[in-house]
Structure 1
């Protein structure tokens, strides 16, 4: 069993965090092609937005000791990200874990596996992302597990301190090696342009014309004609 210190994301200033709180992960998805968890990891609540730094946990199939320790160590604004090492049967997060997370102002919990006590989780209100629900829970065995090591969740490698953005559409992991300012500028530019796109659509202009899809199709047709000669 291994427990390492919490890792701070030095790149993430309060100003950048506030800007990320406005931007949607799906908008970033227009410009970034990796770091998105598999869609099977989805929000168990509706209309949620999570922005915070990864506090990573790895557990084996039926031992939740490290989850209980992690929720006791996590700090305000952390997102607890749990690697279930392939287990899809046992729920390692339920009412008490989520209640404890709320008491420490944890931003959210993301599990590569199921959770349980969904009615209580909805009442508590801490955003939980999981692959589904299960009535079979893990137990306190103290056999194995890790805290604040590199893990895998939803098909994405997650390092302690990585930046997490999640909403009803899915979960995005932004490595500390990325340029957050550059990502924000592109996403904010796209979102500023959306009202203009809608105005042109309301005026009757085809979407394919606005997005330059027509030009790409014309170029493709020209290439085919050239190859047929």
Structure 2
């Protein structure tokens, strides 16, 4: 049986654009939660997307529901796919890439494998996966679920969560966290530019960051 829940509310476009200006690694400087297993990697060498999570749970050989979802997805959606532990059957390949790109899908995150990596790269379509494989899913008629909570890369992902993904990794944020997180990340990115300018002018990084002062203070208190 196929369980199909309503499509989630899309992330407000100004918030999506603000999040798109952030690097996942910058957010990794101040946030500990929401990062997907780094073994799920970008197929493209350089990319960044931000959008609304549309979640799918697909059994090992059945890609039927993912195919059906191509009539439901909207521009800016990010497909997040739970493969229920299967790492042999690729649910995503060249045809899906070109169809999704034409529909304006922002990208796809797969806790499993993809195929047709050359086509993905040629199309420049953002895909994150655990690797590539030749064995693929079929229209097997087994079942699956759309827009339900899923487990991907060690995280529970809710439909409607905000996704930020780049070549460094994938971050999942509750929609209510996006504004504050993005604002702080952009502030830190500006600070990094200022720090690099000071280093170029001759200052030492540990003096700017306070690392040396912290080391000295801790060693003095321990002595």
Q: Which runs of 5+ in 2 are unaligned?
A: none
Q: TM-score, normalised by structure 1?
A: 0.92
Ranges of 4+ aligned residues in structure 1 off by more than 3 Å? none
Q: Which residue of 1 aligns with 2:212?
A: 214
Q: Structure 1: how far apart are the matches of 2:12 and 2:4?
A: 26
CA RMSD of aligned residues (A): 1.3
Q: Which runs of 5+ in 1 are unaligned?
A: none
Q: Structure 2: how far apart are the matches of 1:52 and 1:16?
A: 9
Contact 1:81–1:110 under 8 Å retained in 2: yes
Q: Which residue of 1 aligns with 2:158?
A: 159
Deviations 1:160-209 (A, max 9, x none): 01000111111111123x43222122111111111211122112322111
Q: TM-score, normalised by structure 2?
A: 0.95
Q: Structure 1: how far apart are the matches of 2:66 and 2:120?
A: 16
Deviations 1:29-59 (A, max 9, x none): 1111111111111110122111110010001
What is the correspondence of 1:116-155 to structure 2 with a 5 Å cutoff?
116-155=115-154
Contact 1:89–1:114 under 8 Å retained in 2: yes
Q: What is the DSSP-based 3-state SS (H/G/I as helix, E as strand, rest coil) of the residue aligned with 2:25? A: helix
Q: Which residue of 2 aligns with 1:200?
A: 198
| 1:109 is the counterpart of 2:108 | yes
Q: Structure 1: how far apart are the matches of 2:171 and 2:149?
A: 16
Q: CA deviation at 1:215?
A: 1.9
Q: Structure 1: how far apart are the matches of 2:51 and 2:151?
A: 17
Contact 2:43–2:126 under 8 Å retained in 1: yes
Q: Which residue of 2 aligns with 1:73?
A: 72
Q: Structure 2: how far apart are the matches of 1:40 and 1:21?
A: 22
Contact 1:87–1:113 under 8 Å retained in 2: yes
Q: Structure 1: how far apart are the matches of 2:215 and 2:134?
A: 51
Matched residue count: 222
| 1:5 is the counterpart of 2:3 | no
Q: Structure 2: how far apart are the matches of 1:115 and 1:189?
A: 36
Q: CA deviation at 1:85?
A: 0.9
Q: Structure 1: how far apart are the matches of 2:201 and 2:124?
A: 41
